[in-house]
């Protein structure tokens, strides 16, 4: 397999995640789209790591997964806190910082 196949899949999944973040109103699905984008980046890193024959990409994938776990924990805690105050997980209702 050429590396371009993997890069193409990664690009498509990243775009789908980006469109999901921009388009949806449910904040849970927005967080899931963020996970999709992080996974696309991971696929890129592993493919490049095999192209260059090193192990650095795998190490970075492990760090990205760590950051994704931390992001999921804090993000879902924020979702629960907002839901307690506003009774909603619609992103259009979270406009306290909007001027």
Partner 1 sequence: METLIFWSLSGLIVLFALLVISAKNPVHSAIFLVGTLLFMAGLYILLDAEFIVGVQVIVYVGGITVLYLFVISLIVLKRIPLESTLNRQWPAAVIAGLAVMVEVAFFLLKGDLFFQVFEKKKMIYGTGETAAIGRALYGPYVFPFEIATVLLLLAIIGAVLMSRKPERDQTPES
**What is the smallest separation between the CB atom of 21 and partner 1, expressed in angstroms?**
9
29 contacts 17 by C-beta, under 8 angstroms: no
CA distance 75 to 72: 5
- Residue 16 binds partner 1, judged by CB under 8 A: yes
Binding mask 35-54 for partner 1 (x = CB under 8 A): xx--x--xx--xx-xxxxxx
Closest CA to 36 of 50, 21, 26: 21
CB closer to partner 1 out of 9 and 94: 9
**Beta-bridge partner residues of 26:** 90
| By CB under 8 A, residue 12 contacts partner 1 | yes
Kindly state the smallest distance separating residue 95's Cβ from partner 1, in Å. Answer: 13
Residues in contact with 68: Cβ distance below 8 Å, sequence separation at least 6, in sequence order: 35, 38
Total binding residues toward partner 1, as defined by CB under 8 A: 72
Contact set for partner 1, span 52-91 (CB under 8 A): 52-56, 58-59, 61-63, 65-74, 76-81, 83-84, 87-90
Asked whether the beta carbons of 79 and 31 are under 8 A apart, the reply is yes
């Amino acid at each position: 397999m050429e590396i371009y196949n993997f890069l193409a899949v990664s690009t498509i999944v990243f775009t789908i995640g980006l469109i999901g973040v921009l388009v949806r109103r449910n904040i849970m699905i927005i967080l899931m789209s963020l996970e999709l984008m992080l996974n696309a980046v991971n696929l890129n890193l592993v493919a490049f790591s095999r192209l260059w024959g090193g192990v650095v990409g795998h190490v970075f994938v492990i760090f990205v997964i760590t950051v994704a776990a931390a992001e999921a924990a804090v993000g879902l805690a924020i979702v629960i806190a907002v839901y307690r105050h506003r009774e909603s997980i619609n992103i259009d209702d979270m406009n306290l910082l909007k001027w």
